[in-house]
C-alpha cells in the first residue's frame, strides 16, 4: 500500500475515533462539548504528527475554547487512540479551528433571509 493511502486511511480512523470520544463525552474537559465536529485529519508522512481540524456552528469564541480543551486533553486522546488503533507509534495531535461549518450556516441563513425576506 502506498504511503499516501496509509496516511489517508489513518487520518480517517483518527477522525472517527476522536469524533466518537467527543460525542460519547469521554473527554471530561468542560470546554469540549458535543457541538464540536472533527472535519478532517491530516497525518504527516512519517506519522509523527496529526493536524486535527475542528469545527462548530457555535461562536468563534466557543470554538477556540473547545480547541483549547482538546489540546489540553491531547495526551488522553492519544492514549485512547493508541489503545484502539494499536499503532507502533501514535501521532502527536495538534488541533486547529476549521471555520467552514460556521460559515456554511451563516451563508444558509443569509440565503434564507433573501428568499423569505
- 38-57 residue pLDDT tens: 999 999 999 999 999 999 87
CATH number of the CATH domain containing 82 = 3.30.300.20
Which pairing describes strands 92-97 and 49-55: parallel, antiparallel, or unpaired?
A: parallel
Among the residues of 1-117, which ranges form H helices? Answer: 3-23, 60-72, 74-85, 100-116
Query: pTM of this prediction?
Result: 0.83
Domain that holds residue 67: 3-116
Provide the domain count of the chain.
1
Taking residues 56-84, what's their average pLDDT? 93
Amino acid at each position: 500500500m502506498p504511503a499516501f493511502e496509509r496516511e489517508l486511511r489513518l487520518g480517517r480512523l483518527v477522525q472517527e475515533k476522536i469524533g466518537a470520544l467527543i460525542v460519547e463525552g469521554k473527554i471530561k474537559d468542560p470546554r469540549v462539548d458535543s457541538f464540536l465536529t472533527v472535519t478532517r485529519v491530516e497525518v504527516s508522512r512519517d506519522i509523527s504528527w496529526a493536524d486535527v481540524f475542528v469545527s462548530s456552528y457555535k461562536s468563534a469564541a466557543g470554538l477556540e475554547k473547545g480547541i483549547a480543551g482538546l489540546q489540553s486533553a491531547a495526551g488522553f486522546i492519544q492514549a485512547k487512540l493508541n489503545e484502539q488503533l494499536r499503532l507502533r507509534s501514535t501521532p502527536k495531535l495538534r488541533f486547529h479551528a476549521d471555520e467552514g461549518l460556521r460559515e456554511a450556516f451563516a451563508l444558509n441563513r443569509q440565503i434564507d433571509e433573501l428568499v423569505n425576506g
